[in-house]
A = this chain, B = another copy of it.
Amino acid sequence: MARLRIALAQVNPTVGDFLGNRALVVEATAKAAASGAQLVAFPEMALTGYPIEDLALRPSFQQACGRSLRMLAADLEGAGLGGITVVVGHLTPPPAGSPDRRGHNAASVIRSGVVVAGYAKHHLPNYGVFDEQRYFRPGVRTSRFRLGQAEVALAICEDIWVSAGPLSHLAQDPPGLLLILNGSPYERNKDDVRLALCAQRAQELDCAVAYVNFWGGQDELAFDGDSMIVARDGSVLARSPQFVDHLLVADLDLPDATHEADVTLPVPPLANAVTATVAAPLSDAHEVYLAVVTGVRDYVRKNGFASVVLGLSGGIDSALVAAIACDAVGAENVHGVRMPSAYSSEHSLADAADLAERTGINLRTVPITDMVDAYHRGMDLTGVAAENLQARVRGAILMAISNSDGHLVLATGNKSELSVGYSTIYGDAVGGFAPIKDVPKTLVWEMSRWRNDHARERGQTPPIPPNSIAKPPSAELRPGQLDSDSLPDYAELDQLLELYIGGDVGAAELVERGFDPGLVSRVVRLTDAAEWKRRQYPPGTKITPRAFGRDRRLPVTNLWREPLG
């Protein structure tokens, strides 16, 4: 039995930022070394950021990956960190002259300034948001190395979701520790699934499992970290909190390796013992809230913005987005704009002012009536054309402020609206980022209530005006308009959408399950017909198992009509 101290570095790398990502690795390695860890592991593709999409196929980028790995090894050695074993994920360039332009999604083991072992991901997910068979060529070998008396095997993300492949090889002769590097995006409740999977694999293989995942936002994906270490009996030894930088350190008692290994690395002795921590799980609303905050913060920060602007209607969606923005970039960097029209109610202006007062964001008012009138003088517009015009004038105002002041525009639409096409393209749909794009309306309310409760528990002012939560939703594009005039109750709508969009349940089966045929027919038709608008909608953080965008790819030109029976 050998005792090994391992550290899992839950870092937040940025796509393409080789310099910054190397610095993250060196910094966390120094911290791990200081804690006495003998091994420190970094997530999948930590050196490049993830997902890098078609950059994976560009020769200049591939060469930079190769250089960056060599520089990292030298940097670690130069920083006096050659004595700790570092495992890091990166892209391996394809062999020179290969007709297949794809490299490996790989892990390298670095010690004393040298790459001493490596592994290439076998199972390349090609579903949901993943296109890894486009970007990478599959690995074919397993990889093990000896660390003192213990044996460590490597795997990358999808490899542990599939029984065949590396896991079935390892099962024949289990290592002491299976170390898995991950780039696993956040989805609601996925933390429970991950833990169950790690526990299952630990028991099947009869070995400890260490799972390291990064955190942070990358375009439409948020990563929550949730790094963990599970004992061979499936019990949790250590677990990182979600959505933060974290170094998870634990001592593992591992069986002595029973046979020779190609690579054996000596380990310095352990002077003391550490107590591993197990982070408490978050509530669903808390977790989702942090996911969208992370998405906004990293989209803003990593794209070089310092501030955001959004339209404040007085409604719940823009209020929630404003609260999220405050938590992401600070209230002083959030600019709210009230843009009243002839149809705006008194409470719209008052509720937006209440929001600004509660949160401390910057508030500005630009009435749209004069602009709208100018269009009406030049053109004859009625009905939907006139309604949409108001939304488009507001969009132009927000973009003008963005162009003038350099703020990123946040779109405030929710998933329910986006599903059935209740948004005006080039109107309320303008923006660089759409924080609650994947949040159904019912969850918008739930998150808002949670955020206010969270503030109250901490003795802070609840950011979201109670009236914005309580009042019936309205787009206010004509007098007295309410969402409920033309949409069913959001509770029912969201249930239906969750099945149709999230579950690929067809219309006939929805009717079989008890939904009204007329409602099914209408909602399915509206959803299908809005595909063209969704294509032009800004990116926003995925929080459900099936978000719009790369997660759900449908043709715009599409004469398929779901039969009702």
A contact residues vs B (CB 8 Å cutoff): 14-18, 20, 49, 51-55, 57-61, 64, 126-127, 131, 133-134, 217-219, 298-299, 302-303, 366-368, 370-371, 373-375, 377-385, 388-389, 392-393, 395-397, 399-401, 403-404, 425-426, 430, 432, 504-509, 532, 535-539, 552-563
Cross-chain contact A557 with B430 (CB below 8 angstroms): no
Known A59-B504, A536-B536: A553·B54 in contact at CB below 8 Å: yes
User: Can you list 14 A-B contacts (CB < 8 A)?
Assistant: A15-B558, A18-B560, A53-B555, A54-B504, A55-B555, A60-B508, A126-B134, A218-B557, A302-B557, A370-B377, A388-B399, A396-B396, A399-B426, A536-B538
Those 6 A-B pairs whose CB atoms lie nearest each other, nearest first: A60-B506, A16-B560, A385-B403, A17-B559, A374-B374, A385-B404
Known A54-B553, A432-B532: A400·B374 in contact at CB below 8 Å: no
Cross-chain contact B15 with A557 (CB below 8 angstroms): yes
Known A392-B396, A539-B535: A303·B557 in contact at CB below 8 Å: yes
Provide the bound-state CA to CA distance between A431 and B470, in Å: 37
Provide the bound-state CA to CA distance between A133 and B374, in Å: 52
Cross-chain contact B385 with A506 (CB below 8 angstroms): no
Which B residues lie within 8 Å of A61 (CB)? 506, 560
Please indicate which of the listed interface residues A53, A217, A375, A389 has the most CB atoms of chain B within 10 Å of its own CB.
Answer: A375
Which B residues lie within 8 Å of A51 (CB)? 555
Give the Cβ gap from A62 to chain B, nearest Cβ, in Å: 10
Cross-chain contact A557 with B377 (CB below 8 angstroms): no
Known A557-B14, A560-B16: A375·B400 in contact at CB below 8 Å: yes
Provide the bound-state CA to CA distance between A380 and B364, in Å: 13
Given pairs A388-B400, A399-B426, 11 additional interface contacts (CB within 8 A):
A15-B558, A54-B504, A131-B553, A367-B378, A375-B396, A381-B400, A385-B401, A389-B400, A392-B399, A395-B426, A426-B430
Provide the bound-state CA to CA distance between A559 and B302, in Å: 8
Known A55-B554, A554-B55: A14·B396 in contact at CB below 8 Å: no
Provide the bound-state CA to CA distance between A377 and B368, in Å: 11
Which B residues lie within 8 Å of A508 (CB)? 60
Cross-chain contact A60 with B537 (CB below 8 angstroms): no
Which B residues lie within 8 Å of A538 (CB)? 535-536
Which B residues lie within 8 Å of A17 (CB)? 559-560
Which B residues lie within 8 Å of A131 (CB)? 126, 131, 134, 553
Which B residues lie within 8 Å of A217 (CB)? 557
Give the Cβ gap from A48 to chain B, nearest Cβ, in Å: 9
Known A52-B555, A219-B557, A303-B557: A371·B375 in contact at CB below 8 Å: yes
Which B residues lie within 8 Å of A536 (CB)? 536-538
Provide the bound-state CA to CA distance between A302 and B531, in Å: 14
Provide the bound-state CA to CA distance between A388 and B536, in Å: 19
Which B residues lie within 8 Å of A507 (CB)? 60
Cross-chain contact A559 with B55 (CB below 8 angstroms): no
Which B residues lie within 8 Å of A379 (CB)? 366, 397, 400-401, 404
Cross-chain contact A556 with B535 (CB below 8 angstroms): no
Cross-chain contact A15 with B366 (CB below 8 angstroms): no
Give the Cβ gap from A207 to chain B, nearest Cβ, in Å: 26
Known A374-B371, A381-B404: A556·B60 in contact at CB below 8 Å: no
Select one of B20, B368, B559 contacting A559, CB under 8 A: B20
Give the Cβ gap from A125 to chain B, nearest Cβ, in Å: 10
Give the Cβ gap from A21 to chain B, nearest Cβ, in Å: 9
Which B residues lie within 8 Å of A539 (CB)? 535, 556
Which B residues lie within 8 Å of A432 (CB)? 532
Cross-chain contact A370 with B381 (CB below 8 angstroms): no
Select one of B58, B134, B384 contacting A506, CB under 8 A: B58
Which B residues lie within 8 Å of A384 (CB)? 403
Provide the bound-state CA to CA distance between A371 and B372, in Å: 8
Cross-chain contact A554 with B381 (CB below 8 angstroms): no
Which B residues lie within 8 Å of A133 (CB)? 126, 133
Give the Cβ gap from A526 to chain B, nearest Cβ, in Å: 15
Closest chain B residue, CB of each to CB of A102: B127
Which B residues lie within 8 Å of A381 (CB)? 400, 403-404
Which B residues lie within 8 Å of A560 (CB)? 15-18, 55, 61, 64
Closest chain B residue, CB of each to CB of A366: B378
Provide the bound-state CA to CA distance between A213 and B197, in Å: 45
Cross-chain contact A559 with B16 (CB below 8 angstroms): yes
Closest chain B residue, CB of each to CB of A506: B60
Which B residues lie within 8 Å of A126 (CB)? 126, 131, 133-134
Cross-chain contact A388 with B403 (CB below 8 angstroms): yes
Which B residues lie within 8 Å of A393 (CB)? 396
Which B residues lie within 8 Å of A374 (CB)? 370-371, 373-374
Give the Cβ gap from A210 to chain B, nearest Cβ, in Å: 28
Please indicate which of the listed interface residues A388, A400, A539 has the most CB atoms of chain B within 10 Å of its own CB.
Answer: A400
Give the Cβ gap from A310 to chain B, nearest Cβ, in Å: 15
